[in-house]
Amino acid sequence: NEFEDGLASFQLPSWPIYRMSSDGTHLMLMGLNGMAIVEAHTPSHASVKSATVQNPTNVAVGANGFWLTTSDAGLRGWTPATAFDEMESQSSRYANPLNIGFNSQYMDISNMTHPGYSIDLVSPENPVALNSSMGQPGVHGLMFQTVPLIMTSPISNAAVWAKSNTLRYDAILELDNASGVQDSLQLAINNGQLINGTRFVPIKLIAPTNGSLEVRLTYDWVRLDTPVEISDMYDRPDDGGGALTIEWTLVHDPDFSRYLVYVSDQPWTALPTDIDLVGRIIDKSESIHSRLKADVTTANGVPLVDGVDYYALVVVEYNNGRYGLPSQVFGPVTTSNEVPTPPAWAMAQPLDGGVAGDLETEWSRCTALDLLETRIYTSTQPMTNVLGLSVGTTVLPTEGNTTILNLEPGKPYWLGFTCVDLTGQEDLANATIIGPVVPTGGVDDGIPPSRLENVWAIDTPDDEGGRITVGWDVSDADDCAYYVVYMVTGVVFVNNPTSIAGFSESTVVNNCDDNSTIVSQLDGLSLVDNLEYYIGVVAFDTWLNSNPNDVQIVTATPIDNSGGAAMPPTRIENIQAYDHPNDDGTAIDVVWSISDAGDFSKYVIWAADKPVDDVGYLWNLHGDDPDRCGCVVIDKQWIDEDKNPIELTLNAALYSVGTQSDQFGLADTPQFIQPGIELFVTVTVHDLAGNVYTDSLLSASVVPINNFEDTTPPPRLDNISLTDRPMDDGSALLVDFELSTASDVYQYEVYAASWSFTSVGVGADGPNAPVFILERTPDLPATIKELAGDIPVIPGQETWVTVVPVDSAANALKTDLTVVSAQSIDDGITDPGNYLPSIEGITLAWVEETSILVTWNHSNSLNVEGYQIHINSEDFMDISEATLLDNTTTSNSYVITTETFPDLVNTSDWYISVTTFDGDGVVRETVDAKKINAVDSTGEITKDTGSENNFESLLTTPNLIAAGLVLVSLVLLLAIFRGRGRKSQKEKEWEIQTATWGISDDPWDKPSQVNTPPPPPTTPAQTESLFRAAERIEQQDVGREQYVAQRPVMSPVRAPIDDALLNDLDIGASQKQSSSSIDTSFLDDLL
């Protein structure tokens, strides 16, 4: 009658569990000497935080964090998800015992100091006598005086706190004194409780002494409308602007008709009357008396404008059409278009029943009223924001709040979620981040990777301190996904620990092939020099299984090896800035090359309306506070594994106010980017020690442009070059050019033709359409293989080329262009990438019968930059005959899905190749494609009818040609031996052979009279085919299914051998050695 779900006991820091608390998302557990926080809503119930705590007493989970009380060490807390960082401990003195003195009377209140406990200082049983002649007159003529409250304790500097609660006093009210009585009574009536239109005012009369009291009260009244007041007025949150939310008080009048809301962009000088309001347009009406809030989008009928001050009032209209007393005017309040708040939570897990790489994601719905879509960003590196990342997936509101991502299987990912409004706003810096998560397939075996052996840790040499290098033996688990380095300091262990309980996560290594890393932070803080750290490394599999209780723990101490000399990272070497396309001129794009600093900490991107080659003043004055410096901070050294340049969109910059100086000052303030004002941009690189170069910086300039009104095209390009591509077959040319200086250049159109021209486009003397289009940051030089009209580049043919820059508004100059020409040269090389190695160890396998997993061995050649994967339905030897699927630079596996290749079906055979390319983009075009067979209706992979090593598979056309040549050679040798023994005889059989094989009929004992040309040499293609056939013949079983195309079976027919012919050839008889010189070079050619 019991069930178990979640972590095993050995995965927890302490067992058994005595206390638990949960908020529905996370569960906090308390054991004898430890605590753990685990995920409550995921199937794995992974542990996200654990700690060793002595003498715990209870745990609690609240909106502000996770809390644990102890019997002797007070309260400990951890921050909410996803950080789970332990809060800084604080201690205070406790005043015990505590005495209190009031009017020279003292009492011990040590046992009364509890929140909410009331202490009676004065009571009828314990009165305090005061001097009635002293004090200040108050209510009803009573004398009020200040009496000190004194608290004493032998514990010095202990904080105490007290609050007065109730003060009761007696007063004698002379009712026959008309002064103030009527006003006081009316005030009590006005504040009486109103129930169903009746005002209830309790009046209690008490005689000061024993006796009787008779009171007659007469109250005359005139009906007044219930007043209405605006209780609050504010900008409607999480919307697209142009709306105010107004709240008001309740009106219960029986003849109530409706509430009327009036909004003005100018303040009312006096409270308007009903006559004043008749001429205005009602901005909002509400006829339900209990509905006390409304959203207003107009002011006197005109739509609200963001940034403008607005004022409002509310008035009640009654059934007879009259107006009540208007509320007081409320304002000013402005509207704004808020950046949508990211989802409150998100989760991801492998898709149950999906293919490898499928990741099921879910998130809380975006609350923005002007929501456009939800964006999901993916990264293989840990991240705290999504600045600089490319959008991975977009989900429309109509598609819900779940989706399936298809990622590279077995690799850890971090996901970032943002909400985007109709104007494209999203909070990149505060995206909801989760991870690591691993897209995988199959079934969770629940078995964690074995303990990592030979773990070591040393101070990182030749640095400025604060870094430790950690190494280990690579995990032997087939399903290993990543490693996590755990650390702790300030703890004394009696015995060498073997568990990471109480340790904190420091670094994630996302590749199980790596066996070392450098750690520099713990709990978000830099490592402290000369402080010893305990370090452990744990391997996680694709289902996030791990064994935190069997870990090899080592120690290391970071040391400053620089001798106090600061060594800042090198400055950025390349930076470019562009106008952001398709906007109103309120954003720019910045692209810069990444830093290779080993102790990298962050980038700071600066933008201002004055030169930023020296930002020392700004750095010293503002630091990296974006609210003061107008800068942006990115803590990711690179965005993708290829370490491409980082691209970032900026919406704010530092603008000067009322000065034209190039020097920064206090008047420079961050503002939203404004169109038409030139901006200067630079990037500084900071290391972990805070060192940075702030002068002599490389910068770029850009002018933001309103692309909706832009009609100015980029200037023509003047510096264009066209050259032959070296070491090829003359089928390509290389075009290079200087990039446009226009800020809003969006792309480059490349035109090429076999005739001379000066203009392009419809009706011009040049091509109508470009041969290809390059992005605004192209890889140059670009390769041209085809001309206008799909004409290939031919060696020796004159080719004319021009490049046209186009801005994001599609403006371009296409006349009077700079056109260059050149001829391609055939260097006799058909495959420029032939010098690159071919790929070995290619394996193909169906995954869930829907996708194909391709794996291969990494190349050790230094020339190889990456790999290309091609596919075709028929066998191919050149990649031009197949479809390019993708490029990869680091991975040696690839999953082909219907998303990457829509034509993929499991009912057809497929041929797939993996080839290499170098840093210049030159690709090895000659490949040996591998075949994977189709899956039949029963789910089995079909097999070829023949075997690679049987006799029928050897009867291919190249093999038969080779066998024929060998047979001819044998026959000729037999003829020579026979000719040496019988020089003057020509038997009938020999004549038949000479006629059959075309051997000259000249006497063998005389020089030949005819110069017979030698046979043509074997071509490289034939040689390659022969070698390829030989390699296939020699292939052996490698433990997996081999797929071989079916070949026709040819059975050679052998003619019976005439015994007389053998006798005539004198086979086996001793022959006399010939002394004549016979030219046998033709045998070499035949062989």
Q: Which 8-state DSSP code applies to residue 87?
A: P
pLDDT tens readout for residues 831-869: 778 888 889 999 999 887 888 989 998 888 888 888 999
CA distance 622 to 971: 95
Q: At which residue do the structure tokens 């040689």 appear?
A: 1023
CATH of 230-333 given 3.40.605.10, 3.20.10.10, 2.50.20.20, 2.60.40.10: 2.60.40.10
Q: Is the dihedral of CA 666, 672, 677, 679 positive or negative?
A: positive
Q: Which residues pair with 733 in a beta bridge?
A: 724, 784
pTM of the model: 0.56
CA distances from 229 to 115, 458, 562 (A): 36, 70, 69
Amino acid at position 449, single letter: P
Question: What rounded mean pLDDT belongs to the chain?
Answer: 82
User: Who contacts 639 (Cβ-Cβ below 8 Å, separation ≥6)?
Assistant: 379, 388, 389, 390, 646
Cβ pair 284, 261 in contact under 8 A: yes
Confidence of residue 984 (pLDDT cuts 50, 70, 90): very low
User: pLDDT-derived band of residue 8, with 50, 70 and 90 as boundaries?
Assistant: confident
DSSP class of 112: G
Which is nearest to 1049 in space by CA: 954, 924, 918?
954
- Give the integer Cα–Cα distance in Å for 312 and 234: 11
Long-range contacts of 658-667 (CB under 8 A, 24+ apart): 661/610, 662/610, 662/611, 663/610, 663/617, 664/608, 664/610, 664/615, 664/617, 664/618
Number of neighbours of residue 630 by Cβ within 10 angstroms: 23
For the domain spanning 346-437, the CATH number is: 2.60.40.10
Give the residue, 568 or 6, on which the prediction is more confident: 568
All structural domains of the chain with their residue ranges: 9-78, 230-333, 346-437, 456-556, 575-604+616-702, 720-823, 832-942, 953-1004+1016-1064
What confidence score (pLDDT) does residue 763 get? 87
Q: Which residues contact 631 (CB under 8 A, 6 or more apart)?
A: 604, 605, 606, 607, 618, 622, 624, 654
pLDDT, residue 1035, reads 43
pLDDT at 830: 73
Given a cut of 60, is residue 414 above it in pLDDT?
Answer: yes
Q: Which parts of 769-825 are beta strand (E)?
A: 772-775, 782-784, 786-787, 791-792, 798-807, 820-823
pLDDT of 535 > 50? The answer is yes
**Does residue 543 carry a pLDDT above 70?**
yes
What's the confidence (pLDDT) of residue 170? 67
* 346-437 shares the fold of 230-333: yes
pLDDT score at 372: 92
Q: Class of the 456-556 domain?
A: mainly beta
For every residue of 389-429, which 3-state class applies, written as one string?
A: CCCCEEECHHHCCEEEEECCCCCCEEEEEEEEECCCCCCCC
The proportion of the chain whose per-residue pLDDT surpasses 90, expressed as a percent, equals: 32
Higher pLDDT, 153 or 963: 153
pLDDT of residue 346: 94
Q: Which residue has the higher pLDDT, 556 or 144?
A: 556
How far is 624 from 636, CA to CA, in rounded Å?
15
Judged by DSSP in three states, 398 sits in helix
Identify the pLDDT of residue 1051.
36
22 pLDDT more than 80: yes
Is the predicted pLDDT of residue 1077 greater than 60, yes or no? no
- The better pLDDT of the pair 1031, 217 is held by 217
What is residue 196's predicted lDDT score, i.e. its pLDDT?
Answer: 67
pLDDT at 1040: 36
Mean pLDDT of 649-663: 82
Average pLDDT estimate for 128-134: 79
539 pLDDT above the threshold of 90: yes
Gap between the Cα atoms of 555 and 617, Å rounded: 41
pLDDT digits (tens, 9 = 90+) for 150-180: 888 888 888 888 888 877 776 666 665 555 6
| DSSP annotation of 769 | S
841 near 856, Cβ under 8 Å? Answer: yes
1071 or 325, which is more confident: 325
CB 484 within 8 A of CB 522: no
* Kind of pairing between the strands at 480-489 and 504-509: antiparallel
Q: Looking at 356-360, 631-635, 899-903, 982-986, which range is the least confident one?
A: 982-986
Q: For helices 957-981 and 988-997, what crossing angle results, to 10°? A: 140
Residue 1087 predicted with pLDDT over 60: no
Among the residue ranges 117-126, 553-562, 691-700, 903-912, the one predicted with the least confidence is 117-126
Structure-token match 């430890």, residue found: 34
Does the 9-78 domain belong in CATH 3.30.70? no
Say how far apart CA 632 and CA 649 lie, in whole Å: 10
Q: What percent of the chain has pLDDT over 70?
A: 84
What is the average per-residue pLDDT within 878-895? 87
Encode pLDDT of 572-622 as tens digits.
Answer: 988 989 998 888 888 999 999 988 888 888 899 999 988 999 999 899 888
490 Rama class: left (phi>0) / alpha (psi -120 to 50) / beta = left
Q: What is the pLDDT of residues 193-244, one digit of tens each?
A: 777 667 788 887 766 655 555 667 777 777 678 889 999 999 999 888 899 9
Confidence check: pLDDT of 41 > 50: yes
Please tell me the predicted confidence (pLDDT) of residue 991. 52
Whether pLDDT at 527 is above 60: yes
Q: Which CATH superfamily is domain 832-942 in?
A: Immunoglobulins (2.60.40.10)
996-1013 pLDDT, tens digit per residue, is 455 544 444 444 444 444
Q: What is the CATH number of domain 720-823?
A: 2.60.40.10
Q: Which residue has the higher pLDDT, 167 or 916?
A: 916
The yes-or-no verdict on residue 1072 having pLDDT over 50 is no
What pLDDT, on a 0 to 100 scale, did the predictor assign at position 940? Answer: 57
pLDDT beyond 50 at 395:
yes
Closest CA to 914 of 871, 880, 862, 850: 871
662 or 884, which is more confident: 884
pLDDT of amino acid 959: 67
